[in-house]
Structures are given as structure tokens and as C-alpha cells.
């Protein structure tokens, strides 16, 4: 599977799969959702990333995205993005990534041309309809 939004420049960087469940109970009881999130690594591979370049970030399983508690996995993700190490971010749905404007700004501070994917087809950042979004702003 290829997508015209994914370029060789993206493929030179890592693919980041971000997995999160809001509570430990959800992580334990909703195993299907967790497994679907881990399976996004297969989507990255189908888009052209070698398995060795796919980073699964799952430190936030059982951590709410409400913003009242720091998320180590989200911090790791945004640091890798800021350093230009990530060519694509895959998450099951947009609410797994960020819920506040401040968090979206951290994500959208990505290097020009970064790609975001929401596996369930929900609208990624506001104003976007595609499941695969290429950021064009500098």
C-alpha cells in the first residue's frame, strides 16, 4: 500500500505508533482496542516503513488524556517530533493523541511535511477530513 502523501523524506525518519487507553481498567478490559492500536505498526509497514524504523510508544496505556497528569509517552512522542526524527504518527483516533489546544500545538510544531494518520478515519487535526494528513505549514 502506498500513499502519495508519504514521500522518501518521510520514510527516512521513524514511524511512531502512539497507543493510549484512558484508564488501567480500559487497558485490561478493552484488549481489542489496545490490540488495534498496536496493529497500527502493520499500517506503517504497509506504507513503506521497515519494521526496524517503527517505534511503538505505549507508556500511556492507562493514563488519561485529560491533561491533569503528565503523559510520558506523549512527551516522548513530541520530543521525537521536535527533533525531526518522526516521519509519520499513527494513532487509532485523534483523541488518543491530544485533547487540548496546547497538546495540539506541541504536535503541530512538527517539521514541515510530517504526516499524521488516524486509523479509524476520524478527522485528524481540525479542518482535515482525510485519515492521512500531511502538514504543510513550516
- Residues serving a catalytic function are 22
- Spatial neighbors of 119 by CB under 8 A, at least 6 apart, are 36, 37, 40, 43, 90, 91, 92, 93, 131
**CB-CB neighbours of 7 under 10 Å:** 14
The C-alpha atoms of residue 17 and residue 97 are separated, in whole angstroms, by 10
CA dist., res. 46 & res. 102, Å (int): 31
Amino acid at each position: 500500500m502506498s500513499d502519495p502523501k508519504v514521500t522518501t523524506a518521510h520514510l527516512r525518519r521513524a514511524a511512531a505508533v502512539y497507543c493510549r487507553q484512558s484508564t488501567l481498567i480500559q487497558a485490561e478490559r478493552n484488549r481489542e482496542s489496545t490490540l488495534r492500536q498496536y496493529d497500527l505498526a502493520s499500517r506503517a509497514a504497509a506504507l513503506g516503513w521497515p519494521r526496524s524504523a517503527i517505534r511503538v510508544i505505549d507508556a500511556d496505556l492507562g493514563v488519561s488524556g485529560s491533561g491533569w497528569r503528565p503523559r510520558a509517552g506523549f512527551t516522548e512522542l513530541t520530543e521525537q517530533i521536535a527533533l525531526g526524527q518522526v516521519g509519520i504518527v499513527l494513532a487509532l483516533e485523534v483523541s488518543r493523541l491530544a485533547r487540548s489546544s496546547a497538546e495540539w500545538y506541541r504536535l503541530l510544531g512538527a517539521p514541515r511535511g510530517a504526516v499524521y494518520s488516524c486509523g479509524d478515519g476520524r478527522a485528524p487535526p481540525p479542518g482535515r477530513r482525510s485519515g492521512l494528513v500531511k502538514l504543510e505549514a513550516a
